[in-house]
Structure 1
């Protein structure tokens, strides 16, 4: 049986005690020498019915200490607090205690430590209140808020009224307005409401808006009010009286816009321009259509637009219609088909999987991606893997439960996860990307904090979260089964991994804690519609259609977030049978940014000798080996063909490169140095529980007497220790060079790697990829 999949292994969990480091640091301060100063903007001692923050300062000569005491004046216990303030000019902070602080310019945001977040009704954070060490003038911070409210507990001052709105365009069913901005109160103005007879009919984030859905030849009275970052509403502006156009007053439509052309293309946008249309009374708007659906509307004075939110390497067909004030639409312009750029924009994409559990037995940390030089070469890091909640059928996070040691256990991965490795485990300075240890009480620790640091050091690097994998794919069929279950699952995954709302675990986690770490989602469903996945996996004949619908739902919800394009990728099978069972390539190809076509595990013994223990064979050959005795001859080339045949753009295809080898023992002599010869089972592995698998670096170091061979015909590398010995199939710089030549000749997008810990410390395989891809 061909399994062609990565196996997820049990992890060893280590928990470390977390002392009150802040308290110990506080005891080191010479408090007797400090002189207390209360800043002129300090809050009253207590404000009944409110949560407040009182500021005091203590002078120590060369430095001073700023202290914020959070007080709970409400009648219910406070379960967490967030303090924000701006530093005065010339003030810098060198360290923070009893809270997790983020400093952006002069703005400071502090979230409670795990031990001082609960404040009883009428209580305070004393004696463990947040404080900082500062230099510069001893001046109280400004614009202080606690949990969004003013630190002194006084009510917010709302924004003022905008100026009288002015109609810039009126049609039969719309009115476009602009107005002068409102003055801010205590918080910045973030938007505006347009009202008609007290009901909100439009909203805007700028000082203009278009009211739609109006009745023709009807009078309306419109006002505008401002709202601030806290949701406070200001008074309404003076009213504007306006009457929509009577369509009978102008039955003549505009002429068609001409010369529609593309002026710029990126991987997620297309810029268009056209020649103006003519009209007897004037064009008020141009409607831009993408694949027959309205995509954008621009004012009639504009003859260009950028349509964003598109996917890479996808063709889109555009037309433009002009519209006059009577809502007469012109004939369409010429149709223009434009294909967006691919994600690598002419280069070749390099994607590397980082195994969540590699920090244990492998002792491979996010830091190693940096020190080996890999992070500087990679475009995307896939963080693998996250699981599906077996009860709620949502993205699972916030649990630490290991997988069963029995690979045939149908519940091997049910409910398993590693919140400790993800975001609760404190890393030492030696294990940290920037050489700074986790403080032990921060809301974000573990691998995710290290990925955040890695991205800061390599700003062009993207990170995506991989869902599923061999052991965590059991419930994909269930979450994909209905429209409601798909929407719920996707919404939960975006909430946890994209918005970063991590469940609280061992003092870590919380709302928005991991926001900005992941740039997208990778789907590793192994395998949709197939009985050949992990024992116990749920599957159905409806999986193929449901899988396509699940991909579409991910694309839809990711796009609805707005802002920068979020990646959506998938690890997909090499086996044409599995493609047929689970993948509608035509439907999923447009929504996915790229396919990661499995290029390894074509043959292997498996850790439990349940796969192909009795015959050695290539696990990642580029071309079909003429000596291959199996009925279907797997190869990278044969894996790519079904995708190209289905019309998938080559610049949406990446091929898998293994940074590990698969091996057999008791391999008989014969053939070409043991190639395809009989074996007695899996060779000893890098780890006792993982027979038949060794990382590339470990393989070279720990299999003595192995002679390396290169099969020119199949483009495969293998090693043999001699008759009755071990036989290993793996990639090395020689085979990688042939694969990179192949993908360049085919015009493919690039490669992905399973997984990064297998390389040597100086990045032998990564360097070969970089050299081969140019």
Structure 2
């Protein structure tokens, strides 16, 4: 199979298309590849003085040994390679901060920085010692073998809820913005029983009591090998090609994941060709909810066969599961 070299940034109406062929780490003099830039980086204020930064696992050979988190150009935290989140503390209230993450492998080689993400801390609340109310009506379900979808009722606070903290047992595993009441927890093990609770936090770092526990058992086996369940994958995925003005285009259509359980709208997708990221689609306007379509240039040569699949970036910044994979050949008759 052949990869079509693509490198462009195109704006088409309200749709921003980012195409790249440089997703693997660069070769080094010592052989092997540098760690890739961590993807799926998100930053959300946890309180007036803290921001929760989270990212997806980076790839590298040898394995990733640690991650470095930067505030602007200043390194503020280092965490082990098995950890993909951190709380950056001792920040100023009502201040905007920019964060990036870099991966370092076991040989000490530092990969490129991630995409820069921003978060603004809320104003401090003077003499606030009243915690938010307990999150009620927590619900959840397994999303395949490696993820779970969780939701909960809105907490109340006299100064407003700044964030919600998610716990697996007694360990904090994630935080989301105070306006979000659902998320997807990824990186779980197949066929395993988990217990999750939620706590609300206000800008003064007052924390509510824990919600009732939600107990979920992930499906046995491995559904996609990417750490995220198939329940978050686009469905009805179709791929064909057409020729126009001497060039071939790949035509895709799919039904977006059901965002009802994850409290948000899907605005970004990643398309993979032959198992490698090729294109990111970002809707700047109102994204489609019922059916999405997209067509993009893949070259002028007939008879080029490629495997294609797609996945969505969920509202909490993590990647959902991959769609079914389709195989298409330029110049071939449509089925």
Question: Normalising to structure 2: TM-score of the pair?
Answer: 0.39
Structure in which a larger fraction of residues adopt strand: 2
Question: Normalising to structure 1: TM-score of the pair?
Answer: 0.19
Bigger relative contact order, structure 1 or 2 (CA pairs below 8 A, ≥6 apart): 2
Structure in which a larger fraction of residues adopt helix: 1
Q: Which has the larger radius of gyration?
A: 1
